[in-house]
Amino acid sequence: MPPKAKAGGKGIRGEPKGPEPAPETVGERTIQRFYQTNPAEKRLEEVGFPGLTSQERTAYTHTKLILPIAERRIPLSNKAEREYWKQVSKDGLPIRRLRKNYNWGRDRSGRDIATYRLEDFQQRTLKHARLSALDILHRQFLSKRQTSLAHGGELSEQEIIDEKTRRREMSALKRDLYGEIPGSLANDPEWDDVIPIPHSEPADALAKIAYPDDYAEGRLTSIVIVP
């Protein structure tokens, strides 16, 4: 059983350095957090595996084994596993680690979200949270409306107005976040979830509209022309 993670690690120590500059973008913060949770990686990139001390190599190896052992992909005896986790806890190795190549994706304009400044990313996160909250209320409205209709009831006018307002805000947030352009009825809850009726016409529909049945193709021979 892996022990609880401790703040900081003492298994791999580099030379004392000054405080790191504060990250300005999402990508910079991701890299900084990666090295904070993977202390062996920075040292390895600087000197390579042959340049690590014996203690650093052992700590690096133990760090790489944390996830496989925790997921039982590497079978160990009970005694060996206890000794392993005891050493991990003693060295203060990070139990949970971030991935270096995390992909934040792109926004609606194709911009890499990793290039966002932190304050802009915070605003985007708040918009996502707001949209999620509105979507929950929207689903509650749909459920309540369905229940009311099933019992022959109706929703109040205020509930309809609130849903219309909520829909407009959701549409604006979706356009801002994803570039979606809603349809003309997207803000009207009265038309929500209406399934279009499929409409198919025969090939000669236009001819039947333009001419009476007596003039339809194939029946002209029955028409008597009076001079």
Q: Is the pLDDT of residue 199 over 60?
A: no
Query: Mean pLDDT for the chain?
Result: 79
Residue with the bigger pLDDT between 39 and 142: it is 142
Give 62's pLDDT tier (boundaries 50, 70, 90): confident
For the whole model, what pTM was predicted? 0.61
Give the other-Cβ count within 10 Å of 141's Cβ: 19
- Per-residue CA distances from 44 to 35, 124, 145 (Å): 11, 35, 60
| Residue 25 DSSP SS3 | strand
Residue with the bigger pLDDT between 104 and 223: it is 104
The tens digit of pLDDT for each residue in 129-153 reads 999 999 999 999 999 999 998 988 8
Choose the weakest-confidence range: 54-68, 70-84, 86-100, 177-191: 177-191
Range 88-112 burial, b when 16+ CB lie within 10 A, else e: beebbbbbebeeeeeeeeebeeeee
Q: State percent of the chain over pLDDT 90.
A: 38
Q: Is the pLDDT of residue 193 over 60?
A: no
The tens digit of pLDDT for each residue in 98-122 reads 778 889 999 999 999 999 999 999 9
